[in-house]
Structure 1
Amino acid sequence: MTLLIKRSLVEQAVDQLRQRIANGAWAVGQRLPTEPELATELGISRNTVREAMRVLAFSGLVEVRQGDGSYLRTAVDPLQAVQALSRCNLEQARETRHILEAEAIGLAALRRTDEDLQGLREALAHSSEHFHADLERYVSCDLIFHQRLVDAAHNPALSELYRYFSGVVAATVHHNLSQAPRCQMVFDLHGQILDAIEQRDSDKAKALSRTLINES
């Protein structure tokens, strides 16, 4: 019973904080009041505030900086976008990946740094280790590789969009790999994409990416 009451208090605190954000109580990028200050303002315990802030951080509204405090990341609740993404079907997910991921990878080929390449190689090596093993672990590693591909475009908006979309990508990959045997030729496309990015061949990187999206 205690757990139910505690959860209810946290939900109420989350709702109050969401409402304040929606009403413009704080500007984007502004440091939020401390946990004790919010606890006093809302008339709740510090533990409840802490749990509520974790929820807001998970949903993308708030950024918690260790040792520095919490900052408002956006005034637009990303939860609504995540909920919309979760309702798309496999074909819609594929279309979105073509528009978002393939184009971002084309930019990555033009903008990537040596540090990006190193991170991509490491992520691909981890994926390779798990490709024929546990599916959950492989999908998790594969997602890191794809996020780093998009991040190599050095466009924060694209990176952020892909982070919200990554749950749909993971579900799609998991569904497809659980329906059919894993194909080494399809996995090898990841390495070919990385080679094209290293060679700064944008057109080739995009073409390979589209092939991978259609096959995965």
Structure 2
Amino acid sequence: MTTVHRESLAEQAAGLLLARIRAGEWEIGGRLPGETTLASQLGVGRSTMREAIRLLAGRDVLSTRQGAGVFVTATDVPEAWGSVLRRADIAAVIEARTAIEVEAAALAADRRTSAELSRMRDALAERGRHRADVDEHVATDAAFHRSVVVAAHSPILLELFDGFEPRSRQAMTEMLRGREQHGDDADQAVHERIYDAIASGDSQAAVTLARAHLTALRSMLG
């Protein structure tokens, strides 16, 4: 049995425990031995073992159930979200935007408040004023789309949008810099229609317009 031979840290113990999980010592859903047993096997104290379990639980590898024990929920640490985003190409970015923003548009049409409509309208106007410079155009475009997600009153969609937004902004900037023009009147008009659908409470029109806009954006990639 591999043990920690020097003064151990929780991260080292977590790494050794994860290696055993990866090796198949416990299947998904399997219950780990108690803290005392694991601590003895790894040559660490119970407090260190407890912290190691907490670290792996925070990485979605283990789950602690009060009164039942510690169970395996995954056989490896999920890849960091940031790494996934950095690898995503522009097409994947637009697909993810579609998943988030189409649903947000539908919810916003049903849930928006008058104050949120006012902020959405201000963001739309700001978008219209900043169409010459690519960076400003992308920033104001993102602000408008975020105002729609805010109006959806869905904390998970907003969390996804905010976590995804830096990579989305980078991808949109890269794409638009490769084109001769961007943010023309027709493009602004599309966003006006999305706003109008949300303002009028027409969720079906909001969905149709938001999806069509992002599908057209995706088609520009060829």
| TM-score category, normalised to shorter length | 0.5 to 0.7
Greater Cα offset, 190-199 or 178-187: 178-187
Which residue of the partner structure matches residue 203 of structure 2? 202
Name the amino acid aligned to 2:133: D
Cα distance in 1 for residues equivalent to 2:163 and 2:191: 22
The answer as to 2:157 corresponding to 1:158 is yes
C-alpha contact 1:127 1:141 (8 A) present in aligned 2: yes
Name the amino acid aligned to 2:98: H
TM-score by length of 1: 0.61
Which residue of the partner structure matches residue 34 of structure 1? none
C-alpha contact 1:193 1:205 (8 A) present in aligned 2: yes
- SS for the counterpart of 2:153 is coil
C-alpha contact 2:90 2:175 (8 A) present in aligned 1: no
Which residue of the partner structure matches residue 123 of structure 2? 123
Shift of 1:173: 2.0
Which residue of the partner structure matches residue 86 of structure 2? 86
Which residue of the partner structure matches residue 100 of structure 1? 100
Cα distance in 1 for residues equivalent to 2:167 and 2:212: 18
Higher helix share: 1
Which residue of the partner structure matches residue 147 of structure 2? 148
Shift of 1:172: 2.7
Cα distance in 2 for residues equivalent to 1:89 and 1:165: 13
Structure 1 residues 151 and 22, CA gap change in structure 2 (3 angstroms): farther
1:75-118 CA distances to partner (integer Å, 9 max, x unpaired)?
A: xxxx9212211211122112212211111111111111101101
Which residue of the partner structure matches residue 66 of structure 1? none
Cα distance in 1 for residues equivalent to 2:136 and 2:194: 22
Structure 1 residues 130 and 24, CA gap change in structure 2 (3 angstroms): same
Q: How many residues align?
A: 150
Cα distance in 2 for residues equivalent to 1:82 and 1:117: 32
Cα distance in 2 for residues equivalent to 1:22 and 1:189: 52
Which residue of the partner structure matches residue 170 of structure 1? 169
Cα distance in 2 for residues equivalent to 1:89 and 1:22: 35
Name the amino acid aligned to 1:158: L
- SS for the counterpart of 2:80 is helix
Structure 1 residues 22 and 102, CA gap change in structure 2 (3 angstroms): farther
C-alpha contact 1:85 1:165 (8 A) present in aligned 2: yes
C-alpha contact 1:186 1:215 (8 A) present in aligned 2: no
- SS for the counterpart of 1:95 is helix
The answer as to 2:214 corresponding to 1:213 is yes
Cα distance in 2 for residues equivalent to 1:22 and 1:137: 45
Cα distance in 1 for residues equivalent to 2:215 and 2:177: 16
C-alpha contact 1:108 1:149 (8 A) present in aligned 2: yes
Structure 1: tracts of 5 or more residues without a match: 1-14, 16-20, 29-78
- After the TM superposition, list the runs of 4 or more consecutive aligned residues in structure 1 that deviate by more than 3 angstroms: 21-25
What percent identity do the matched residue pairs reach? Answer: 32
- SS for the counterpart of 1:200 is coil
Greater Cα radius of gyration, structure 1 or 2: 2
Shift of 1:127: 0.9
